[in-house]
Amino acid sequence: VQALRYERYGGPEVVGLQEVPTPTPRAGECLVRVHAAALNPKDSFFRIGEPKFVRPLAGTLPRGIGFDFAGEVVGTSEPVYGLTSGLRGSTCAEYVQVPLRMLAPKPKNLSFAQAAALPLVMLTALQALRDDGGLKAQGSVLVYGASGGVGTAALQIAKALGAKTIVSVSSAKNRELCLSLGATLSLDYASDHLPPPGLHFDVIFDTIGEQTFGRWRTALLPGGMFVGTRPTPSLLAAIVSTRLFSRRARLVAVRSDGEDLRTLTRFVEAGLVAPVIDSVFAMSAAQEAFTRLDSHRARGKVVIQVSPPGRPEN
Give the binding site for ligand NAP (CB under 6 A).
Answer: 40-42, 120-121, 124, 145, 147-151, 170-171, 174, 189, 207-210, 229-230, 252-254, 293, 296-299
| Least spacing, CB of residue 1 vs ligand NAP, in Å | 27
Nearest distance from C-beta of residue 66 to ligand NAP, angstroms: 13
Would you tell me how many other CB atoms lie within 10 Å of the CB of residue 259? 9
Minimal CA–CA distance to 90: which of 3, 1, 2?
Answer: 3
**Residue closer to ligand NAP, measured from CB, 91 or 147:** 147
Q: Phi-psi region for residue 180, left (φ > 0), alpha (ψ -120 to 50) or beta?
A: alpha
Residue (79 or 300) nearer to ligand NAP, CB: 300
Q: Which is nearer to ligand NAP, 40 or 307 (CB)?
A: 40
Minimum distance from residue 33 beta carbon to ligand NAP (Å): 26
Decide: 124 and 65 in contact? Cβ < 8 Å.
no
- Secondary-structure breakdown of the chain: helix, strand, coil percentages, each rounded to the nearest 5: 30, 30, 40
Q: What is the closest distance, in whole angstroms, from the C-beta atom of residue 67 to ligand NAP in the complex?
A: 10
Residues 6+ apart with CB under 8 A from 250: 132, 133, 225, 226, 227, 228, 239
**CB 23 within 8 Å of CB 97:** yes
Residue 72 vs 294, nearer CB to ligand NAP: 294
Task: Indicate the residue among 79 and 301 with the shorter CB distance to ligand NAP.
Answer: 301
Show the beta-strand stretches assigned E in 199-276: 201-206, 220-228, 248-251
Closer by beta carbon to ligand NAP, 40 or else 140: 40
By beta-carbon proximity to ligand NAP, the closer residue of 101 and 230 is 230
Q: Which of 169, 160, 224, 218 is nearest to 193 (CA)?
A: 169
Using CB atoms, what's the residue nearest to ligand NAP? 148
The Cα–Cα gap between 240 and 238 comes to 5
Q: How far is the CB of 313 from ligand NAP (least distance, A)?
A: 26
- In whole angstroms, how close is the CB of 77 to ligand NAP at the nearest point? 30
Minimum CB separation of residue 9 from ligand NAP in Å reads 17
Q: Is the dihedral of CA 152, 156, 161, 164 positive or negative?
A: positive
